[in-house]
Amino acid sequence: MKDWIKKAVIYQIYPRSFKDSNGDGVGDLVGITEKLPYLSNLGVDVIWLSPVYKSPNEDNGYDISDYEDIMEEFGTMADFDKMLETAHSLGLKIMMDLVVNHTSDEHKWFIESKNKNPKYSDYYFWSDSTNNWGAFFGGSVWEYSPERKQYYFHAFAPKQPDLNWDNPCVRKEVFDMMTYWCEKGVDGFRMDVISLISKPEKFCDGVPDSSRYSHVADHIANGRHVHEYLREMNKNVLSKYDIITVGETACVTIPEALYYAGFDTNELNMVFQFDNMGLDREKIGKWAKKRPQLTELKKILSKWQEELYGKAWNSLYWNNHDQPRVVSRFGNDDKYRIESAKMLAVCLHFMQGSPYIYQGEELGMTNAKFDDIKDYRDIETLNAYKELVGKGIMSQEDMLERLAFSSRDNARTPMQWTSGENAGFTNGTPWIKINENYTEINAENQVNDSNSIFNFYKKIIGLRKKYEIITELKYELLLPNSEELYIYKRLYKNSELLVICNFTSETQEFSLPEYFDSTEIVISNYNRAAYSNTLAPYEAVVLGVNLQ
Ligand code: NOJ
């Protein structure tokens, strides 16, 4: 794998909530361009841009009606070109979101398909009958089209019909579209639910769960041709450009990841795995909160570190637009918000793989915790509320408490730029409420404060550039049974890093192994000059021996 990819730190922008330049309450491309110097100051290398293509916005752009046009609310193609040019002039790369498991039902291909234009007839999955699979956003995966007088398949919302990748014409359309963007000069793709693109030959009923449906993911993840199609994509497009790729691979296992992201498999550079994302949710109904166990978290992250080492590449993330804020999940978003946000950054960024920072994470932004369903905008949240509260399965109070913890909107509130009106995000009315804590938590406060979370992230990013070996060291977990401390070593030739993180709001004891006598403090979230055996609440410290 290319060296620049191994060393890159990636920053995700959710354009709708990043920066509004024209007062319509929705973030846009001109707003992003304005803020590129902020990202360049932070020191990141690549920006993953959530979808900016033309879309009716059923799922905030993850339902595309034209892959070669820009969403009206976000601006024009000229604005995109200007953004790309400015990014490049600052040394920043742009990774596009590639949403090709499905299109919008307003995409030309789907309109032609439902109207039985023979050329497009098999671009989607059509059937005279249905089965018992349940969609990600609730309800059946089948929707009736009165025009075609058949049902079509959608793994997500009815307005997101799934493309039929078994049709070579579909694959060619997708590859041509990718080429269009590569020729424009973009630097990579984050591939939305790419593990779902290859469907089974037959759509047989499955075992239903408590929702009376059989979850679609159990039937379509890591399908029979997925690796073949990705290799074809690699040969036809990816291999021709110097670009970075990451697959969002729902239900990925280690053996599958070794194909998707293997060093010699010619598919993708890395994948997002989700094993640790469900740790604070009950298995039944993703909406219930449970206390995450540190030992479980360690087990999962260590497994991915160890089993991919030398064979494939990890992506490292706590946050994205689909997950609640990490400091509200695995940290303490109240008394120890600053300490725990920094500790979580340390814990993740010293592992092997490419680190991802989701907008606002570098400020320690917290969950929104809305207490009125009217404040929510996310289709998944609203559908679940309708289903559970509407049908009397859960009380309104209960559901709101759960959403305040787990809704995707927790991460989608606007970036908190300043302590001024609307957090400096917009001059208009924001499309979704701004988190009330913006007067305290905002970029303006942090950029010039050397002790801020922002500057701590900046320092960590800088260390990755300074010590070549951060990308190469081998991982080894210490104290696997501790529910309080996450400690791991990174080893490479005669160099060693020791990463010590206290995941609790109490002090903890840990004495260093003897040979760690003369060490360098690489970073400490309590600004320690020397190591102390008593770790303060949420303390994180990284020690190094023979670092190069
Ligand atoms: C995964 C995306 O991250 C999510 O936001 C979206 O709703 C689904 N894929 C469907 O595209």
Residues 6+ apart with CB under 8 A from 92: 36, 39, 40, 44, 45, 46, 47
b/e 501-512 (16+ beta carbons within 10 angstroms → b):
bbbbeeebebee
Residue 287 has pLDDT above 70, yes or no: no
207's tokens: 């075992």
CA of 449 to the centre of ligand 1 (A): 35
3-state secondary structure 401-458: HHHHHHCHHHHCCCCCCCCCHHHHCCCCCCCCCCCHHHHCCCHHHHHCCCCCHHHHHH
Instruction: Please name the residue whose Cα sits nearest to atom 2 of ligand 1.
Output: 192
CA of 477 to the centre of ligand 1 (A): 33
pLDDT at 210: 79
Q: Which atom of ligand 1 is nearest to the CA of 137?
A: 7
User: Is any atom of ligand 1 closer than 6 Å to the C-beta of 64?
Assistant: no
pLDDT at 412: 98
Chain mean pLDDT for the chain = 95
pLDDT at 295: 96
**8 Å CB contact between 409 and 321:** no
CA of 251 to the centre of ligand 1 (A): 14
- Amino acid occupying residue 32: I
Report the largest interatomic distance among the alpha carbons of the chain, rounded to a whole angstrom: 75
pLDDT at 447: 98
Helices (H), 63-107: 77-89
Q: What's 83's DSSP letter?
A: H
CA of 306 to the centre of ligand 1 (A): 28
pLDDT digits (tens, 9 = 90+) for 435-447: 999 999 999 999 9
% of the chain beyond a pLDDT of 90: 90
Residues 6+ apart with CB under 8 A from 398: none
Residue 473 has pLDDT above 90, yes or no: no
CA angle 37, 40, 41 (to 5 degrees): 85
Closest CA to 257 of 245, 243, 268, 242: 268
pLDDT digits (tens, 9 = 90+) for 388-436: 999 998 899 999 999 998 999 999 999 999 999 999 999 999 999 999 9
- Check if 192 is active-site: yes
Residues 6+ apart with CB under 8 A from 311: 258, 262, 263
Q: Which domains does the chain have, with CATH numbers?
A: 3-100+169-196+242-462 (3.20.20.80), 471-545 (2.60.40.1180)
Q: Which of 13, 50, 59, 249 to mutate to test the pocket of ligand 1 (most atoms within 8 A of CB)?
A: 59
pLDDT digits (tens, 9 = 90+) for 52-71: 999 999 999 999 999 999 99
Give Cα 324 distance to the centre of its chain: 11
Q: Which atom of ligand 1 is nearest to the CA of 380?
A: 7
- Model confidence at 88, in pLDDT bands (50, 70, 90)? very high
What one-character-per-residue DSSP string does 189-205 give? EEETTGGGSS--SS---
Residue 283 has pLDDT above 60, yes or no: no
Q: Residue 332: CA atoms inside 13 Å, Cβ hemisphere, count?
A: 15
